């Protein structure tokens, strides 16, 4: 057959392939093991020697031409396929995929971790203390002697072995100081102690007998330029609340009495619900009481083994539930200890 | 405690200062204020009227028809009135149709309309004190003095309207001087730089006359006791002004002498007791400890059993009052009382507090004494009492001398305030003048010295409040106002803080458990209810126990976290098909104690996978725990079957121990089916418990790099038929040992059990990945490996299939 006619037939066959499968079939017929094109090229061997170069050249040209046509046709199909793909007519972005079971951290854990990260970045160490505590560490060492009215206001859970469930995280102040002193005190000491505390209260929407606090303690030398003052306390607390509440908070410091600090303060933040205008949440005051704090009482430093003439410090105790409730708008404190997955699933975030 | 603005004004001029500002300033400098209330709010429309004529209602025995002249306030109107005491000639308070009577005493506001009562038109209402919200007095209408001006607004002619601050009592527990109006007046005088008037001018008292001797047997419990006989007393109801003043601060009016003692207490913070002098007789009045088993019936009618810690005030030996807490029944002033024995004493704070706590009897008096009142006030109170009583009852007079056997002389206490310490703690430098003026405004005596200030503490702050330099720093700070102190960052430190790795490990365990294994983190109480402990079979263990539990069946502190977590899982399965929970918490073992005699503490992470339907989640949980431990860098070995111990909720034969370097640090298990039944959990419940401290002791494991293969690896499938009892781990180990260095990985892809196998057998189908570091493996290597497996399989009772 005339090579040109062959060529035209092959090109027509490539052009006639209606889809990738037909093209693949045509390609196989032309270029496969005993394919027509291959045979055509190979047929050079049956020609007389002098005709071979010319035929070989022609055959190669034709072969390349057909190959190019196949490649172009493939490219056409690929382009058409991509165009269809990009059109996306049957695409439903709302169809659910396979979901792994999702776990969530407890909202108090989320906030506590953020606070730990913040305070460790400020050079605080994260410590812990026992929840079953001795009367000495919970009261006596904190300047709350046997007949002090603060003992009753704390509604202590007493244990049959004369110990108690700690009513605050403050006992860890003295424990930490004693340990530091034993190891050869190297000021400054900066420590936070988040943890579970207990007060014998009837549980309702706003009261719990088991709750979470975060204690903070900073102690440094009382002279040179390293002294610790109320000015530092205010700055530290503001920084902390800004991070946790994720807004630029206003705070106010007012007198508050706690036996283990002197002077003692209550720290309030401006009410997020009414922007300080006064509402039911803040009892019309525009402020929400968020943490008691103060300068460490000399007797507490003494109980920790330090001379209050030589050392000075501040301490604070933040109610974590309060902060968590403010942050997420939770209005029922019982949910924290309720263990209901439907509550817990509402806080899928990880600590930032 | 309620503090009245009108009352404060007796002591300090607060003109021109808004009540809201006072609230804010007291909050910032002195005490927490819970609220501000308008007393007598809404009484503006009330008009004073004159009852010109009163006739019986033609159709009702108990009603009167009155003609009331309201002058310019409304002319003459006809009012039907139901009060028994209404009479012609009275000056009364009237509300007219169209006006509204404010809500009071639980009743809503009442809009007055012209109406017919039993056919007679009534054009308004004559009001009682209760209707005005001025007292509980509901026996009849309020009758004003005869000179009350007709037609004028009631609120313009009588001091009824007031602003009342509600003080948060907790915030003044440390301030005995703030348990009365005078103390708050003193604070406000200091805050606003205004003059504080003396509480009362001393009255001359007779040197002789009727006296009742006082014997104080326990001077520690009663540091001072002033007694005075007052006669010429007319013991009727108090006049309106006193009644309303007391009502504004929530104090019920009883009778004139009693009201005056209450007035003094609410002014100075000094509780007093007025005995009918007949009860005390000739005395002596004896202050003594009660005898064990002695009893007294207090004036609330309750018989109180006493012990030798309680203090009594006796007429000689006969108990008349529980000192500092409450008077005895029948000793109080009666309608026919004309002579009083007035007690104005100082009692020891702890003694009063103990008695009041033990008897559950908290009174206004005990609340004040337990704060440690100033003994100087005992005498001052007597003078104030006489002054106020004589104001309303001019015939009353002291019948004899003040009997004050112990007396009181304040030995001034001086506390030094150093400038350097003030600066150190406040963090702001204050002028000497400023410091001095603050301290003086609070009535401290101040002498400036080289280093600072020597401060003489006034007696009313000396009982327990001001003792050390730091107390003075607080006085200066709060009056300067903490708000004025500029904030300043802590000094930087460059060394990272020491890490408590155990805490960080626990935190990572929780994070990974939640984020990777799909658990929700739960917090449970440390108390475990008896019912739950019974259900999990742990009722008999040794527990740390609460003396005063929230409920009788929750006395026990948990030893382990799992029991209450299982209860949480059961609760969640009531509304979900699956529960995946974890909890990080502490347990306490009562039988082991540390050097402070505290029980041994364990820190655990517990996990529960429970589902109503589908495959048992044990394997899933075991994989999850394995991956959890690897993620946190504390991988463990889980091969040893674990046979319970003190944790009876663990399935006795389906549990695997978690070991690290040979020491146990937890387990993964199927829940004991009996426990599952008892807690209404499905049998398809898997549990795990990690002992964080045990995990932690053997240290963190840092992953080691292994070079990637240079030559392609060769996967070989191996199926071995073994007895059910043979562990997958043992077979995998056999395959490793057989292929030696060439084995890069052994992975089970199927454990097949079925009809085509002999009974009691399973087929373990592995993919073994072979590879060498120096060449590409061939079919020959595969053949050799399979040959050795076939040859040696008998060693572990296995047979190579296919």
Residues of B in contact with A265 (CB under 8 A): 482
pLDDT for the residue numbered A125: 94
Chain B residues closer than 8 Å to A127 by CB: 500, 503
Nearest Cβ partner for B520 among A128, A202, A345: A345
Q: What is the dihedral of CA B717, B723, B724, B725, to 10 degrees?
A: -110
Given CB atoms, is B496 within the 8 Å cutoff of chain A? yes
* DSSP codes joined into one string, B372-436: ---THHHHHHHHHHHHHHHHH-TT-EE-SPPB-SS------EEEEEEHHHHHHHHSS---HHHHH
| Nearest residue to A322 via CA among A230, A235, A247, A214 | A214
Interchain pair B35, A103: CB under 8 A: no
Question: Given the structure tokens 């589902």, which residue do they identify?
Answer: B611
Shortest Cα–Cα distance, A93 to chain B (Å):
25
Long-range CB contacts (within 8 A, 24+) of A264-271: A264/A292, A264/A293, A264/A294, A264/A295, A264/B474, A265/A230, A265/A233, A265/A292, A265/A293, A265/A294, A265/B482, A266/A291, A266/A292, A266/B32, A267/A237, A267/A291, A267/A292, A267/A293, A267/A316, A269/A241, A269/A245
Q: Is B748 on the interface with A (CB under 8 A)?
A: no
Which among A159, A235, A256 has the least Cβ separation from residue B544? A159
DSSP line for B343-365: EEEE--HHHHHHHHHHHT---HH
Q: Three-state DSSP class for B225?
A: strand
CB contact, 8 Å: B220 with chain A?
A: no
Nearest CA in chain B to A295: B425
The pLDDT assigned to A179 comes to 94
Separation in Å, CA A304 to CA A135, A241, B394, B471: 15, 28, 62, 20
Nearest by CB: A255 against B29, B349, B544: B29
Substitution target from B490, B515, B559, B592 for chain A, most A beta carbons within 10 A: B490
The answer to which of B43-47, B455-459, B638-642 has the lowest mean pLDDT is B638-642
Tell me, what's the pLDDT at A322? 85
Q: Which of A200, A256, A285 is the closest to B548 by Cβ?
A: A200
B523, A106: Cβ pair inside 8 Å?
A: yes
CA distance B178 to B368: 10
Decide: helix, strand or coil at residue A97: coil
pLDDT digit string, tens, across residues B619-637: 999 999 999 999 999 999 9
Which residue in A120, A159, A214, A258 has the most chain B C-beta atoms within 10 A of its own C-beta, making it the best mutation to test that interface? A159
- Decide if B474 and A149 are in contact by the 8 Å CB cutoff: no
**Which residue from B28, B173, B488 is facing A257, i.e. has the nearest CB?**
B173
Taking an 8 Å cut-off on Cβ atoms, the answer to whether A231 and B354 are in contact is no
Of the listed ranges A36-40, A60-64, B457-461, B771-775, the least confidently predicted one is: A36-40
B376-412: pLDDT as tens digits: 999 999 999 999 999 999 999 999 999 999 999 999 9
Q: Can you list the residues of chain A whose pLDDT is less than 70?
A: 1, 149-150, 152-154, 224-226
> Could you write out the DSSP letters of every residue in B153-196?
BHHHHS---EEEEEE-GGGGTT-GGGSSHHHHHHHHHHHHT-PB
* Residue from the list B497, B507, B557 with its beta carbon closest to the beta carbon of A125: B497
Distance CA B375, CA B408 (A): 7
Task: Give the whole-angstrom CA distance, residue B247 versus residue B243.
Answer: 6
Q: Which residue of B523, B547, B551, B621 is the best one to mutate when testing the A interface, meaning the one whose CB has the most A CBs within 10 A?
A: B523
CA distance B429 to A46: 113
Chain A CB within 8 Å of residue B360 CB: no
Q: Cβ–Cβ of A228/B526 closer than 8 Å?
A: no
Q: Cβ B546–A262 below 8 Å, yes or no? A: no
Nearest-by-CA chain A residue for B576: A341
pLDDT of residue A290: 85
Q: CA of A188: which chain B residue's CA is closest?
A: B493
Residue A150 pLDDT? 67
Show contacts of B646-650: CB within 8 Å, 24+ apart: B646/B538, B646/B541, B646/B559, B647/B538, B647/B560, B647/B562, B647/B689, B648/B536, B648/B537, B648/B538, B648/B672, B648/B675, B649/B536, B649/B537, B649/B538, B649/B562, B649/B563, B649/B566, B649/B675, B649/B687, B650/B687
Residues of chain A contacting residue B349, judged by C-beta atoms under 8 Å apart:
147
Q: Distance between CA B377 and CA B408 in Å, rounded? A: 10
> Cβ B32–A124 below 8 Å, yes or no?
no
Task: Retrieve residue B9's tokens.
Answer: 């004004």
Do A341 and B581 count as a contact with CB atoms less than 8 A apart?
A: yes
B590 contacts in chain A (CB < 8 Å): 161
Chain A contact present for B426, CB below 8 A: yes
Distance of CA A122 to the CA centre of its chain: 19
Asked if the C-beta of B515 comes within 8 angstroms of chain A's C-beta atoms, the answer is yes
Per-position DSSP letters for A259-279, written without gaps between them: TTEEEEEEEEEE-TTTTTS--
Residue A231 has its nearest CB partner, among B35, B349, B428, at: B428
* B600 in reach of chain A (CB within 8 A): no
pLDDT band for B293, please (50, 70, 90 cuts): very high
> Does the beta-carbon distance from B482 to A234 stay under 8 Å?
yes
In the stretch 645-684 of chain B, residues with CB closer than 8 A to chain A read: none
* CB within 8 Å: A344 and B516: no
What chain B residue is nearest to A221 in terms of C-alpha separation? B424
Of A124, A133, A239, Cβ closest to residue B497: A124
Calculate how close chain B gets to A170, using CA atoms only, in Å.
Answer: 17
Sequence-separated (6 or more) residues with CB below 8 Å from residue B165:
B2, B3, B4, B5, B19, B22, B23, B26, B33, B35, B36, B184
Min Cα separation A350/chain B (Å): 8
Whether A123 and B523 lie within 8 Å, measured CB to CB = no
**To probe the interface with A, which of B520, B594, B627 has the most A CB atoms within 10 Å?**
B520
Short-list A289, A287, A279, A285, CA closest to A322: A289
Instruction: Yes or no: say if A114 and A241 are a contact pair by the CB < 8 Å rule.
Output: no
All residues of chain A having their beta carbon less than 8 Å from the beta carbon of residue B610 are none
**Residues of A whose CB is below 8 A from B357:** 152
Q: Looking at the predicted structure, is the pLDDT value of residue B691 above 90?
A: yes
User: Residues B505-545: pLDDT tens digits?
Assistant: 999 999 999 998 999 999 999 999 999 999 999 988 999 99
State whether B520 and A341 contact (CB < 8 Å): yes
Distance CA A156, CA A141 (A): 16
pLDDT digits (tens, 9 = 90+) for B258-271: 999 999 999 999 99
In angstroms, the CA A94 to CA B32 distance is: 55
Q: Which of A136-145, B142-151, B488-497, B582-591 is predicted with the least confidence, judged by mean pLDDT? A: B488-497
Residue in B30, B350, B550 closest to A209 by CB:
B550
pLDDT digits (tens, 9 = 90+) for B726-764: 999 999 999 999 999 899 999 999 999 888 888 889 999
pTM of the model: 0.86
B177-226 pLDDT, tens per residue? 999 999 999 999 999 999 999 999 999 999 999 999 999 999 999 999 99
CA distance B688 to B669: 6
DSSP states along A325-347: HHHHT---GGGGGT--HHHHTT-
What's phi and psi for A254, nearest 5 deg?
-135, 165
| Residue B160 pLDDT > 80 | yes
Is the link from the previous residue into B284 a cis peptide, with omega within 30 of 0? yes
The nearest alpha carbon in chain A to B476 belongs to A263
| CA B224 distance to own-chain centroid | 34
Per the CB < 8 Å rule, is B523 touching A339?
yes
Facing A257 at nearest CB: one of B171, B568, B575: B171
CB pairs under 8 A between A and B: 257
With contact defined as beta carbons under 8 Å apart, do B491 and A188 qualify? yes
Token code pair at residue B701: 């494991």
B641 lies within 8 A of chain A by CB:
no
Classified as helix, coil or strand, A292 is strand
């Amino acid at each position: 057959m005339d090579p040109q006619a062959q060529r035209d037939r092959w090109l027509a066959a490539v052009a006639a392939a209606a889809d990738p499968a037909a093209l693949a079939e045509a390609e196989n017929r032309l270029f496969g093991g005993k394919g027509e094109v291959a045979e055509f090229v190979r047929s050079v061997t049956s020609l007389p020697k002098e005709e071979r170069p010319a035929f070989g050249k022609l055959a190669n040209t034709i072969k390349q031409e057909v190959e190019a046509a196949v490649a172009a046709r493939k490219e056409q199909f690929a382009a058409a396929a991509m165009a269809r793909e990009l059109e996306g007519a049957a695409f439903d972005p709302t169809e659910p995929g396979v979901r792994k079971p999702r776990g969530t951290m407890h909202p108090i854990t989320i906030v506590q971790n953020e606070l730990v990260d913040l305070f460790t970045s400020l050079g605080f160490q994260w410590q812990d203390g026992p929840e079953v505590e001795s009367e000495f560490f919970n009261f006596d060492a904190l300047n709350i002697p046997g007949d002090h009215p603060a003992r009753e206001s704390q509604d202590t859970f007493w244990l049959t072995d004369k110990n108690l469930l700690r009513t605050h995280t403050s006992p860890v102040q003295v424990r930490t100081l004693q340990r530091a002193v034993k190891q050869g005190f190297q000021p400054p000491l900066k420590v936070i102690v988040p943890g579970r505390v207990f007060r014998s209260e009837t549980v309702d929407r706003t009261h719990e007998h088991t709750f979470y606090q975060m204690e903070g303690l900073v102690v440094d030398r009382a002279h040179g330029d390293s002294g610790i003052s109320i000015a530092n306390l205010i700055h530290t607390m503001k920084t902390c609340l800004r991070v946790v509440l994720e807004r630029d908070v206003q705070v106010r410091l007012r007198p508050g009495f706690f036996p283990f600090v002197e002077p003692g303060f209550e720290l309030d933040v401006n009410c997020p619900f009414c922007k300080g205008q006064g509402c039911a949440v803040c009892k019309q005051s525009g402020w929400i009481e968020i943490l008691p704090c103060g300068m460490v009482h000399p007797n507490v430093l003494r109980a920790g083994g330090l001379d209050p003439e030589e050392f000075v410090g501040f301490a604070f105790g933040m109610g974590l539930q309060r902060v968590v409730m403010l942050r997420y708008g939770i209005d029922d404190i019982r949910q924290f200890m309720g263990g209901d997955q439907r509550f817990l699933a509402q806080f899928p975030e990880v600590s930032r | 405690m309620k503090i009245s603005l009108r009352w404060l004004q007796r002591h300090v001029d607060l003109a021109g200062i808004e009540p809201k500002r006072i609230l804010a300033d007291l909050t910032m400098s002195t005490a927490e204020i819970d609220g501000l209330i308008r007393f007598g709010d809404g009484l503006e429309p009330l008009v004073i009227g004159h009852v010109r004529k009163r006739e019986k209602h033609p159709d009702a025995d108990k009603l009167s028809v009155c003609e009331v002249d309201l002058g310019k306030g409304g002319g003459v109107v006809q009012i039907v009135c139901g009060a028994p005491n209404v009479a012609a000639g009275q000056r009364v308070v009237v509300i007219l149709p169209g006006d509204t009577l404010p809500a009071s005493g639980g009743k809503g506001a009442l809009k007055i309309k012209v109406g017919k009562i039993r056919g007679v038109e009534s054009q308004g209402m004559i009001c009682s004190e209760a209707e005005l919200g001025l007292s509980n007095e509901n026996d009849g209408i309020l009758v004003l003095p005869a000179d009350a001006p007709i037609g004028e607004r009631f609120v313009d002619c009588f001091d009824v309207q007031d602003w009342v601050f509600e003080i948060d009592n907790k915030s003044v527990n440390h301030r005995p001087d703030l348990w009365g109006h005078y103390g708050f007046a003193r604070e406000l005088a200091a805050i606003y730089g205004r003059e504080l008037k003396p509480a009362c001018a001393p009255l001359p008292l007779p040197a002789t006359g009727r006296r009742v001797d006082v014997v104080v047997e326990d001077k520690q419990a009663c540091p001072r006791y002033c007694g005075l006989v007052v006669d010429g007393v007319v013991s009727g109801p108090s006049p309106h002004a006193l009644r309303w003043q007391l009502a504004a601060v929530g104090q019920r009016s009883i009778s004139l002498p009693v009201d005056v003692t209450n007035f003094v207490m609410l002014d100075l913070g000094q509780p007093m007791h007025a005995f009918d002098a007949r009860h005390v007789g000739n005395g002596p009045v004896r202050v003594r400890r009660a005898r064990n088993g002695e009893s007294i019936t207090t004036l609330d009618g309750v018989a109180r059993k006493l012990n030798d810690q309680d203090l009594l005030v006796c007429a000689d030996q006969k108990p008349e009052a529980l000192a500092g807490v409450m008077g005895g029944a029948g000793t109080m002033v009666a309608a026919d009382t004309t002579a009083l024995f007035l007690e104005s004493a100082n009692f020891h704070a702890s003694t009063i507090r103990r008695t009041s706590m033990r008897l559950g009897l908290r009174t206004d008096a005990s609340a004040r004494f337990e704060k440690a009142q100033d003994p100087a006030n005992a005498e001052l109170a007597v003078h104030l009492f006489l002054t106020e009583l004589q104001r309303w009852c001019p015939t009353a007079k002291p019948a004899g001398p003040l009997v004050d056997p112990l007396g009181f002389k304040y030995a001034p206490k001086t506390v030094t305030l150093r400038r350097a310490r003030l600066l150190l703690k406040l963090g702001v430098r204050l002028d000497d003048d400023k410091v001095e003026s603050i301290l003086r405004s609070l009535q401290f005596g101040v002498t400036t010295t080289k280093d600072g200030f020597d401060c003489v503490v006034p007696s009313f702050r000396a009982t327990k409040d001001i003792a050390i330099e730091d107390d003075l720093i607080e006085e200066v700070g709060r009056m300067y106002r903490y708000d004025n102190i500029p904030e300043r960052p802590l000094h930087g430190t460059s060394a990272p803080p020491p890490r408590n790795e155990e805490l960080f490990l626990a935190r990572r365990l929780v994070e990974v458990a939640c984020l990777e294994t799909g658990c929700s983190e739960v917090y449970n109480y440390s108390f475990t209810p008896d019912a739950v402990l019974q259900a999990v079979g742990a009722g008999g263990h040794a527990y740390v126990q609460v003396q005063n539990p929230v409920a009788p069946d929750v006395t026990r502190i948990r030893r382990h976290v799992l029991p209450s977590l299982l209860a949480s899982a059961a609760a969640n399965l009531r509304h979900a098909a699956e529960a995946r929970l974890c909890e990080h918490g502490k347990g306490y073992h009562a039988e082991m104690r540390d050097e402070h005699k505290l029980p041994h503490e364990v820190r655990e992470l517990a996990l529960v996978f429970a589902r109503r339907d589908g495959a048992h989640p044990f394997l899933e949980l075991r994989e999850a725990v394995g991956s959890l431990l690897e993620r946190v860098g504390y991988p463990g070995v889980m091969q040893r079957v674990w046979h319970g111990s003190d944790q009876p909720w663990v399935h006795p034969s389906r549990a695997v121990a978690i070991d690290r370097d040979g020491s146990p640090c937890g387990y993964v298990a199927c829940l004991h089916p009996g426990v599952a039944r008892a807690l209404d959990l499905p049998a398809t419940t898997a549990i795990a418990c990690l002992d964080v401290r045990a995990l932690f002791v053997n240290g963190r494991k840092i992953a080691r790099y292994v070079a990637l293969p240079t030559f392609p690896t060769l996967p070989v499938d191996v199926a071995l038929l073994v007895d059910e009892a043979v562990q997958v781990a043992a077979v995998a180990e056999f395959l490793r040992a057989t292929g030696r260095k060439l084995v890069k990985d052994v992975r089970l892809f199927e454990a097949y059990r079925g009809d085509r196998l002999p009974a009691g057998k399973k087929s373990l189908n592995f993919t073994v990945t072979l590879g060498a570091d120096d060449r590409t493996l061939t079919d020959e290597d595969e053949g050799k490996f399979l040959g050795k497996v076939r040859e040696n399989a008998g060693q572990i009772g296995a047979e190579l299939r296919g």
